[in-house]
């Protein structure tokens, strides 16, 4: 088990552990329940506001897709999950200068979470940018286009995609006052599921 103050070597340098922000094993399930509740609240509140605004500025109309509706939504959400993680990885490469072999992609069925993890510590600045990249590249542009064009189905889809980034918002909140010169590191998933949180390091050479 990693202890604060210990020195570790990675392929990109030697680091001192300053803080352990990983959710404890016994608290994982409780945390995931809370995160899912917050995700649903975010989705319904934002969806309610968005549809209300939509009705103010656009004519009310309903388009039915029959059975294709749920199927299209499911497929689009699955596609977003893939794009979401690829954008995290691309950000690591572009802004933290990660090598492709230093990235790990996968899905933890037990936790129901997909992930893209750097196997070396990532500077907090590029790390925060990576967290928000799916929001900047997909969610916000799609939402703005949907509101302007008046496509209610795209509004619903964009809000769903945005709610899928709740975990990223949680990390951003935790890192809000953290120096950009420090490094964050996510543990690989274990048998008990996805490791929630991160380790905070200072580079010493």
How far, in Å, CA of 28 to CA of 21, rounded?
13
Per the listing, tokens 């990109």 go with 12
Looking at 27-110, which runs of residues are DSSP E strands? 103-108
Residues 168-203: pLDDT tens digits? 999 999 999 999 999 999 988 877 777 889 999 999
Helices (H) then strands (E): counts for the chain = 6, 7
What crossing angle do the helices spanning 152-163 and 140-149 adopt, rounded to 10°? 160
Residues 36-64: pLDDT tens digits? 898 888 888 888 888 887 777 666 555 55
Cβ atoms 160, 153 nearer than 8 A: no
Q: What percent of the chain has pLDDT over 90?
A: 47
What is the reported pTM? 0.86
């Amino acid at each position: 088990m990693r202890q604060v103050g210990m020195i570790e070597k990675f392929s990109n340098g030697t680091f001192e552990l300053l803080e352990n922000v990983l959710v404890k094993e016994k608290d994982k399930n409780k945390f995931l329940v809370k995160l899912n509740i917050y995700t649903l609240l975010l989705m319904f509140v934002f969806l309610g506001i968005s549809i209300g605004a939509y009705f103010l500025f656009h004519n009310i109309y309903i388009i039915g897709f029959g059975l294709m509706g749920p199927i299209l939504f499911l497929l689009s959400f699955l596609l977003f999950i893939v794009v979401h993680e690829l954008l995290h990885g691309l950000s690591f490469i572009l802004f933290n200068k990660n090598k492709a072999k230093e990235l790990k992609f996968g899905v933890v069925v037990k936790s129901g979470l997909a992930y893209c993890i750097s196997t070396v510590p990532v500077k907090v600045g590029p790390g925060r940018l990576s967290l928000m990249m799916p929001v900047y590249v997909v969610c916000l542009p799609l939402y703005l286009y949907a509101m302007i064009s008046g496509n209610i189905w795209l509004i619903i889809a964009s809000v769903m995609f945005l709610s899928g980034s709740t975990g990223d918002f949680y990390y951003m909140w935790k890192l809000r006052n953290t120096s950009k010169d420090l490094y964050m590191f996510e543990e690989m998933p274990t048998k008990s599921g996805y490791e929630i949180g991160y380790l905070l390091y200072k580079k010493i050479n």
